[in-house]
Structures are given as structure tokens and as C-alpha cells.
Amino acid sequence: MLFHVRMDVNIPRDLPVEQANEIKAVEKAYSQELQRQGKWRHIWRITGQYSNISIFDVESNEELHNLLQGLPLYPFMNIEVMPLNRHPSSVRDDDS
């Protein structure tokens, strides 16, 4: 199942810089491992914002929910999820 996910990050200004940097480092490692596994297919930064648009390829809503909750920055995020379906006008037979 493919999902379009928008993540807006709002780290509190009073969070110590060292703690924020540690969370970001763990987040990067976690997200890169999910990318290597093929579950986090694409990630794009939204210009001028601390936000991203990502495409996930997972087995279920529950799997996506668990992956998102596992993000170290999850407590500081607003997340929008949109399930994706193949469009009948697509010229491709796959997700390339």
C-alpha cells in the first residue's frame, strides 16, 4: 500500500540544543534504515519549511502507523496521511 505523508516538525524552542541534535541523529538513522528496507520510498524537503513529503510502501495502515510512531521526532510532528491508488489514466503499469 502506498501512502503520501506530510510531516511538519515543531521542535520546542526550549528543548536543549544537544538533546534536539541527538533526537535528529537517531531520526536520520531510523529513516535511512526504513529507506534501505524499501518501506520509505521517497522523501522530499518542502522548501522554506521544517517539513517533508514522503511516500511509504507498507503492508497496512497499522504498519504505517507503527513506523510513524517510531520516529524519534514524532512527539514534535503534525502528520497528514493520504492513501494512494493507481490512477486509471496512468501510462505506467508499475510505480516507476
Asked if residue 95 is part of any domain, the answer here is no
Domain hosting 18: range is 2-84
- The total of structural domains in the chain comes to 1
Q: Examine the pLDDT at 62 and tell me if it is beyond 80.
A: yes
Give Cα 29 distance to the centre of its chain: 13
Rg (alpha carbons) of the chain, rounded to whole number: 15
Q: DSSP H helical segments within 47-95, as ranges? A: 61-69
**What share of the chain in percent tops pLDDT 90?**
89
Asked if residue 23 is part of any domain, the answer here is yes
Asked if residue 39 is part of any domain, the answer here is yes
pLDDT, tens only, 9-56: 999 999 999 999 999 999 999 999 999 999 999 999 999 999 999 999
Residue at 39: amino acid letter: K
Asked if residue 38 is part of any domain, the answer here is yes
Asked if residue 96 is part of any domain, the answer here is no
Asked if residue 78 is part of any domain, the answer here is yes
Residue 67 has a pLDDT of 98
Asked if residue 48 is part of any domain, the answer here is yes
pLDDT, tens only, 69-95: 999 999 999 999 999 998 889 898 877
Residue 92 has a pLDDT of 85
Asked if residue 90 is part of any domain, the answer here is no
- Give pTM, 2 decimals: 0.91
Residue 96 has a pLDDT of 64
* DSSP code for 47: T
CATH number of the domain at 65, please: 3.30.70.1060
Residue 86 has a pLDDT of 86
